[in-house]
Amino acid sequence: MYTPGPVEVPPEVLLAMARPVIHHRTPAFAALFDRVRRALAGTFLVPGEVLVLAGSGTAAMEALAATCLREGDEVVVGVAGRFGERWLEIAARLRLRVHPVEEEWGRALDPGRLAEAVKAKPKARALLLTHSETSTGVLHDLEAITRELAGGEALVFADAVTSLGATELKPALWGVDGVVSGSQKALMCPPGLAFATLSERAWELARRPGGRAFYLDLAAEREAQADGATAFTPAVSLIHGLEAALALLHSEGLESSWNRHHRLTAALRAGLEAAGCQAISQRQGTACVAVKPPPGIAAGAVIAWLRDHGVTIAAGQGRLAGQILRVSLMGRHDDLDAITALAAIEAALRECGAAIPRGAAVAAGWTALAEPWPVGAA
């Protein structure tokens, strides 16, 4: 499975989830939850707490927005792909006053343009954006964007669903006020857990009356989770799995994981380009490589051939549906996995009629992997 979520779950994680389900109002659960939340804080690199919700990543997006924002609040939304559009949809449901800043899909959001847009709306409460845009493979420059906005009134809320664990993310250092993520991407768990962490400024917004969230009310979760519990019944088995997954991540080291994801993704991209594919992303991130197949080759046929041979890659989303392939090495992958993925895709492209020499993608992948990777260049 080479998809940008869900990713393959390591056996250590599967085994941890096979443990008996413990009751969640017990000292044993409180101890487990405390260990997991500490490890999460060390993954988000925030001094405060990380809240754990039962739900997919989108639950945390909606929870963050519904907890902190109120009907009529102005927000600026950076949109350059399907997940940026998701913020727009959530904001519309919450009846926020939305000012979208759109960028062509495949391009990175322009920090200067975003900052201008926020300055032009002095009442804007927040800027909502995606860190790693999984529909195009683009990594937006969250650090540069927060630097442009520093000192302003607007808070920054980032969807870090496919950046957490896979690329450099330092919300406390950069000044990101709300960060959300999910379990089934670089955290190598099954789908079903969502995470959110908020700055003090974000909690101040949340204290205003008029909040509409009930199940997704992060203020209620904050109170419960401080006492080692959750407001509602937690996904206990997934939390057991998450403990094992975070242990794997931290035994490798967060920075090593970021570097590995960058290196493998660079090799994947080089290989796909050598096979005649055209990458969409003009600022390649680590979640996936999104490519147009060579001219005349149908993306759907390539995906179907691979599926028939036991390999799963992802299709395009939204306006790129049916046009592209998305291939990901998020999670626990190594050099050989990158090459294996390339060998499979190359075979599929040839079977679907692409005139590419056998071995072209694999050779380019090995060449990219042989290049020295700059230390700390995540």
Ligand X SMILES: *Cc1c(COP(=O)(O)O)cnc(C)c1O
Residues near ligand X, by CB under 6 A: 5, 56-58, 83, 130, 132, 134, 159, 161-162, 182
Helices 57-68 + 82-93 axis angle, to 10: 40
Nearer to ligand X, 53 or 368 (CB): 53
Q: How far is the CB of 179 from ligand X (least distance, A)?
A: 12
Q: Which is nearer to ligand X, 276 or 285 (CB)?
A: 285
Q: Least CB distance from residue 54 to ligand X, whole Å?
A: 12
Residues whose CB is less than 8 angstroms from the CB of residue 251 and which lie 6 or more positions away in sequence, other chains included: none
For residue 139, give the H/E element and its range.
strand 138-139
CB-nearer residue toward ligand X: 162 or 230 = 162
Cβ neighbours for 336, distance < 8 A, ≥ 6 positions apart: none
> What's the rounded Cα separation, in Å, for the pair 343 and 347?
6
List the end-to-end C-alpha distance of the chain, in Å, as a whole number.
24
Q: Report in angstroms how near the CB of residue 58 gets to ligand X at its nearest.
A: 3
Shorter beta-carbon distance to ligand X: residue 218 or 352: 218
* Amino acid in position 233: T
Maximal CA-CA distance, the chain:
64
State the nearest-atom distance from the C-beta of 203 to ligand X, in Å: 23
Angle at 286 between CA 336 and CA 172, to 5 degrees: 130
Q: Which of 78, 253, 270 is nearest to 168 (CA)?
A: 253
Nearest residue to the partner ligand X, using Cβ: 57
Q: CB of residue 250 vs ligand X: minimum separation in angstroms?
A: 22
Closer Cβ to ligand X, 60 or 246, answer by number = 60
Output 89 or 217, the one with its CB closest to ligand X: 89
C-beta separation of 168 from 258 below 8 A: yes
Q: How far is the CB of 325 from ligand X (least distance, A)?
A: 16
